[in-house]
Structure 1
Amino acid sequence: MKRFSLLLTALAGSILLWASWPVSPFTLLIFIGWAPLLWVEDHATRRWQFISIVLLHMLVWNVLTTWWVWNASPAGAIGAFVANAIVMTIPWVLTRSVKKRWGAKPGYISLVAFWLAFEFLHQNWELSWPWLTLGNAFATHPQWVQWYEYTGASGGTLWILTGNILAYTAFKRYREEGRTRSYFISISSWIILLLLPMIISRFIMSSEAKRASAAVAEAYKNVVVVQPNVDPYTEKFTGNIDAQIQKLIVLSEQKIDKHTTLVVWPETAVPAQVWEDQIKQNYFYHPIWSFLQRHPQVNLLTGIDSYKNYGRDKKNATITSRFESGSQSYYDAFNTAAFFDADTSIQLYHKAKLVPGVETLPSFLSFMGEWFEDLGGISGTLGRDSERKVFVPWDEHFKAAPIICYESIYGDYITEYVRKGANILTIITNDGWWGDTPGYKQHMNYGRLRALETRKWVARSANTGISCFIDPIGNVISPQPWDVPAAIKLNIPVDNRQTFFVKHGDLLSRAAAIISGIILVGLIISLAAGKLRKKSPGGKK
């Protein structure tokens, strides 16, 4: 019976976390969503019982929140659900060990440190899938977290975990002591923790709103964002390429005026496979060059499907390169952002944060390559860029960060674009693979957090829903609905300042990683010392 109650409690926690996640209106539930698992940790008597319950909890949360990944790749979805659940279980297992060794307070401190360190690792290893980074929970409430310009989303993670620990502590004291003084201190601390960051955020937002309003009033150059609405399953990679390009051009020209200097098309908007050294000569690109020559003041930022040939010598190839038997040469395939001027100058950036299981596979899972499908219209493991690149136009006005799809959930990664001079974030994506589900809505809202962290305007072009603009305080402007072709235009000011988060990066996560390392070393030494005492002549055997 006890085992059953533990299981039900853990599942209740999964449901609370799901119910609090964007785009649900019940965000505040995130501050009690982990409390059931804290209760399970207190009451599970056997190690493997606890591990199995936590693993199930994480699996259910992943499935409930990101089930829509299945629409794009069933195999990739299963892999994501299971792998994410496993790695999410590890911080809790380590926390249990610390708590048993040193007590509740060190255990709770270690939980915060281990989870933050896990999220940091999850953004920087081969199996990266940080969609459920806890700080993303506030994506639909940027007015609560304007202080992300200092902490990034990891500040939200710290807020959530601390809030849950205080909530659970208050619950325990009420159960054990009733309405005592210590209970009221705990519940008051929890309420203050919830309200104080929101109050601070309101003050920051008031100042930033005035700044943004003044800047917009002075802006005189505009950006056009296009949403072509091409079905990725039936049209985009098998349909008429000429017609798709003409559609993009027609939609663009409906909005372009003499003050337009940047036009943004979505990820893989130009689906023609092209060698990078032949873009100027490629037949499918002729209409694009003609379009730019009709509007010489315009720069075009678009997604393309590009390839790079390394010749027959394997020494010139990369680790991700493929071998083409016909030409006996090595080449890479890329999910690319391209920047074109009317004078036919070209700047390229290759997507570097690739989706595990669908655009790339960790080296230790390479044997599973044939099981997975690609989300971006290019088969096989893709090549990637070694650095972030900023697209600088002829007039040096809008210096664009070319953020491709999945990359927009990596806050710390994006700061490097701004440090390199980007004064506008352009997110190009093709969320059509997921269908009309919460997935594309979550993805757009995560872009609001990137605006807060960098205090930059965002121009977001999606193949279908949600193309929009996002201002530096997280307001969404001119959002375009799902399954509708559209073009939108907005005068956007440039802001060359760098926030604390941009200058210093994710300090919270890095500090947590160091603290976690110290705790782990201490835990290992403590466990080793305990074993030595048991083996000593006077110790227990």
Structure 2
Amino acid sequence: MSFFDRFKNPKTAEEKKRIRQERLLLILSGVLLGISFPPFPFPFSLLAFVAFIPFLLVIERRETLLTLNKATYLMSFVFSLITLYWVGSWQPESDPFLMAGGIALLLAYPCVMLIASTLYYLSGKIFPKKINLWFFPVYWVLTEYLLTLTDIHFPWILLGHGQVKFLAFIQAADIIGTFGLSLVVFYINVFLYKAFSNYKNNNRYSVNYLVAGVSIFLLFVVYGLIRISSIELPNRKVRVGLIQPDINPWKKWGTGSLDKMVDDYLSLSQQAVDSGAQIIFWPETALPVYLMGGNYQNEVDKIYSFLEKNKVTLLSGMPDIQYYFNKEDAPADAKFNKSTNSYYTAYNALIELTPGTRNYKRYGKMKLVPLGEHVPFSEEFSFLADIFKWGVGLGGWNIGKDTLVFKVPVENNLGKDTISVSGLICFESVFPIFVAAFVQRGAEFIAVVTNDSWYGNSSGPYQHKDFAILRAVENRRSVVRAANGGISCIINPLGEIEAETKMFTKDVLVGDVVLNKEKTFYTEHPKIVTAIISIFSLWVVGINILLFIKKKFDL
């Protein structure tokens, strides 16, 4: 077949019919996978265990890299369209650049998943087709893992994340993590597909495949039920107050009254203190100013006065800036301000304000939203930062340097205590291995401050809240979320949501949070699954390189 023959119309009506059928199968796979994710309720989660069957039926017929990638792209595009449609915001106030970014993501995500189909094609040069199909789940999960790396990271729709409503199934995440769950979900699909295809061909092995697939599924469910019923949660607790001010994120960065914002936050915080809260959490970028690095002494004094009076600690999302007046003192990623002739670093940060001292601790967000908060590779190519800018001025944060666990003194049900808490900002909570690093450093519970109001009452805020369930189960840590417009919640170490607010309400959520010092197998070894699949995939690529060299040079 010549190059131009590939673009000719199918020669026969039968071929046209086959192509239509295959496209429908690929669309069906994408739809089933998409509706297995939140915000769809639990029974829909089960669809993920059969969603890949139509897709596998198609790709087993494909021989060339082009046709394999076409199939993967179409299925992945439908999947991402259902689950990620919200990223562009699509509200009247939305920034056009954010909308463009949303469209770009919908088109780009399926391209990333072509890594899986390309590796499948390459391993087809090593293994027979019937054996090769068993490796597709490995390549898919490897691609999910790659989405956590580099500046262009967005590990949102991991297969494991789709099972957060299925509490019994996800309990094994304390051993294998979310990527391990993704692998299991895909392998159950392969077993069921093999059962279906063998039954269709009257092969006696069809029952064996069916039994194997169902047995794996039941093994994970039984393990989960045993864990849920047998885990004894520690008695050590702390009472927290989660402040949900419901401030319009688009207008907040304009000319709103800072003094009124502070008063509103303190009024809500007083309600939390009156209900017994010992640690107060304000959401991401709670105030639209560099509070601790600018000329805002009145506001700072007012906040500290509240903390001193009530003897509570505040952990707040807050923009934070640090100035350097000598180039030698400034870090490599510092920016230059011509008007002040100084260098500076600016962070989307979480700060800890404690009564008794004006010295505050800061954690700078390390996983910045590509384009939305940080221009990918702008450290290497500084001109990119000047090209891409948000209308609301959020696109130029520096990347935080290190995980930080806050040490907070409290009096809890066991007397005077010091509590270790990690502070994650916004979509950092969807990075499984990254979150485990905070628990490795001693975090006894996980706090997430976020502002999901950018995306309206779409799937995004609900997915973001639900995905935190897996961080709780993986590490057996309570997770609390303080969200500007919702959804704020408290999740226990079993992944059960104990309390939550509604979207777009001004609210205060107060509750007792279980503290845990014990580390799970996953927490201590979060990279086992990804290391194994990475090594295998590198081996496949290496063998193909050797085969290419052998053929090229007739060795």
- TM-score normalised by length of structure 2: 0.89
Contact 2:137 2:186 in 1 (8 A): yes
Q: Give the counterpart letter for 1:30 in structure 2.
A: A
Corresponding residue of 2:66: 48
Displacement, 1:451?
Answer: 0.5
Q: Give the counterpart letter for 2:104 in structure 1.
A: G
CA shift in 2, pair 1:493/1:52, >3 Å: closer
Measured in 1, the distance between the counterparts of 2:503 and 2:421 equals 25
Over the matched positions of the two proteins, sequence identity in percent amounts to 26
Corresponding residue of 1:158: 183
Measured in 1, the distance between the counterparts of 2:354 and 2:472 equals 26
Measured in 1, the distance between the counterparts of 2:247 and 2:401 equals 30
Contact 1:275 1:306 in 2 (8 A): yes
Corresponding residue of 2:440: 419
Measured in 2, the distance between the counterparts of 1:387 and 1:222 equals 27
CA shift in 2, pair 1:459/1:435, >3 Å: same
1:429 aligns with 2:447: no
Contact 2:405 2:442 in 1 (8 A): yes
Displacement, 1:361?
Answer: 2.1
Q: Give the counterpart letter for 1:94 in structure 2.
A: L
- TM-score normalised by length of structure 1: 0.91
Measured in 1, the distance between the counterparts of 2:516 and 2:474 equals 13
Q: Secondary structure at the match of 1:426?
A: strand
Displacement, 1:327?
Answer: 1.1
Corresponding residue of 1:345: 359
Corresponding residue of 2:519: 498
Contact 1:336 1:349 in 2 (8 A): yes
Contact 1:116 1:513 in 2 (8 A): no
Corresponding residue of 1:203: 226
Displacement, 1:378?
Answer: 4.1
Displacement, 1:91?
Answer: 1.1
Displacement, 1:284?
Answer: 2.5
Corresponding residue of 1:539: none
- CA displacement, residues 365-405 of structure 1 (integer Å, 9 cap, x when unaligned): 87665665559x54333112221001112345331101101
Name the count of aligned residue pairs.
521
1:65 aligns with 2:83: yes
Q: Give the counterpart letter for 1:525 in structure 2.
A: L
Corresponding residue of 2:162: 137
Measured in 2, the distance between the counterparts of 1:366 and 1:136 equals 35
Displacement, 1:181?
Answer: 2.7
Corresponding residue of 2:212: 189
Measured in 1, the distance between the counterparts of 2:139 and 2:331 equals 35
Contact 1:41 1:96 in 2 (8 A): no
Q: Secondary structure at the match of 1:61?
A: helix
Measured in 1, the distance between the counterparts of 2:255 and 2:179 equals 41
**Structure 2 counterpart of 1:98, from 120, 123, 131:** 123
Contact 2:191 2:210 in 1 (8 A): yes
**Structure 2 counterpart of 1:36, from 49, 54, 71:** 54
Measured in 2, the distance between the counterparts of 1:181 and 1:10 equals 28
Contact 2:375 2:388 in 1 (8 A): no
Displacement, 1:5?
Answer: 2.4
Measured in 2, the distance between the counterparts of 1:347 and 1:148 equals 32
Measured in 2, the distance between the counterparts of 1:255 and 1:130 equals 34
Measured in 2, the distance between the counterparts of 1:356 and 1:141 equals 30
**Structure 2 counterpart of 1:227, from 234, 244, 247:** 244
Matches within 5 A, 1:213-362: 215-216=234-235, 219=237, 221-235=238-252, 237-257=254-274, 259-274=276-291, 276=293, 282-296=297-311, 298-313=312-327, 315-343=328-356, 344-362=358-376
Displacement, 1:45?
Answer: 4.2
CA shift in 2, pair 1:135/1:366, >3 Å: farther
Displacement, 1:356?
Answer: 0.8
**Structure 2 counterpart of 1:388, from 403, 412, 427:** 403
CA shift in 2, pair 1:317/1:115, >3 Å: farther
Corresponding residue of 2:497: 476
**Structure 1 counterpart of 2:102, from 68, 77, 80:** 77
Measured in 1, the distance between the counterparts of 2:130 and 2:71 equals 23
- CA displacement, residues 122-159 of structure 1 (integer Å, 9 cap, x when unaligned): 21222111001111111122222111111110121111
Contact 1:262 1:398 in 2 (8 A): no
Displacement, 1:168?
Answer: 1.4
CA shift in 2, pair 1:161/1:319, >3 Å: farther
Displacement, 1:196?
Answer: 1.4
Q: Secondary structure at the match of 2:68?
A: helix
Corresponding residue of 2:6: none
Measured in 2, the distance between the counterparts of 1:530 and 1:205 equals 56
Unpaired segments ≥5 residues, structure 1 = 537-541
Contact 2:68 2:117 in 1 (8 A): no
CA shift in 2, pair 1:486/1:502, >3 Å: same
Question: Greater share of helix residues, 1 or 2?
Answer: 1
Measured in 2, the distance between the counterparts of 1:114 and 1:319 equals 36
Q: Give the counterpart letter for 1:233 in structure 2.
A: W
Displacement, 1:118?
Answer: 1.9
Contact 1:154 1:506 in 2 (8 A): no
Superposition RMSD in Å: 2.2
**Structure 2 counterpart of 1:112, from 117, 134, 137:** 137
Corresponding residue of 2:28: 12
Displacement, 1:471?
Answer: 0.4
Displacement, 1:81?
Answer: 2.0
Q: Secondary structure at the match of 2:118?
A: helix
Corresponding residue of 1:379: 394
